[in-house]
Copies of this chain bind each other. A is one copy, B any other.
Amino acid sequence: MKELLSIVNLTEAFKSFPSIGEKTAERMAYAILDMDDRKVDFLINAIEEAKEKIHVCPNCGALIDTSECPYCGKERSHDICIVVSYPKDILTFERTESFKGIYHCLNGEISSSKGKTIKDLNIDQLTYRIKKENIKELIIATNPTIEGETTALYIAKIYEDYPIKVSRLAHGIPMGANIEYSDNLTLLKALENRTDIK
């Protein structure tokens, strides 16, 4: 048998991406061979540019490609700060085009399986910012998973005695979803956090 070394290497490289398995990685490797040179150059340039231009804002932890962070400027309201687990979550909030406050990225969540503790998270910088930027409310927007919930509770505990409000994103039935297909935990949360309409 004669395996093609470049295909084996390419498959290996693609397999290291999240949610890409052996079969998909191999299919992608072969797809490279079918692509015209222009497309391959575009891909390689995009990879190189991303690594070169995108960096982490030392203040809030967002991913940025400018020297000034677009989320830390004076035009944003520094009273209120959304605390996210991962940099890309910031973009998800920005896409709603309605939040004008600031962000803070923890760069992870507490996870016993991944060996991540509160010390591995970007918390000291958050404490520093609460004082320096005079933040009045933290909205904890970690994921609604065991890891995210644990992280949220920890943060609430840390700032217990601070003169700031700490809130959590509402959990409930997603808009447009069908109640019939909602899972039990979501339904319980939706009942628990029901809002008055009259």
Contact = CB atoms under 8 A, between A and B. Distances in A.
Interface string A112-152: 00000000000000000000000000000000000000000
Nearest to A2: B70
A187 interface: no
A19 B27 contact: yes
Contacts of A165: none
Given A10-B50, A47-B40, A51-B37, A17 B4 contact: no
Interface in A10-35: 10, 12-14, 16-20, 24, 26-33, 35
A121 B146 CA distance: 54
A43 interface: yes
A9 B51 contact: no
A173 interface: no
A91 B3 contact: yes
A6 B46 contact: yes
Given A2-B94, A42-B9, A91-B3, A50 B29 contact: yes
Q: Can you tell how many copies of this chain the complex includes?
A: 2
Interface string A61-91: 0011100001100000000000000011001
A84 to B, nearest CB: 13
Interface of A: 1-7, 9-10, 12-14, 16-20, 24, 26-33, 35, 37, 39-40, 42-51, 53-54, 63-65, 70-71, 87-88, 91, 94-95, 97
Complex A-B, nearest 6 residue pairs according to Cβ-Cβ distance, in ascending order? A6-B50, A9-B46, A13-B43, A10-B46, A2-B70, A1-B94
Given A9-B45, A30-B88, A37-B51, 5 more contacts: A6-B50, A7-B54, A13-B43, A14-B43, A26-B88
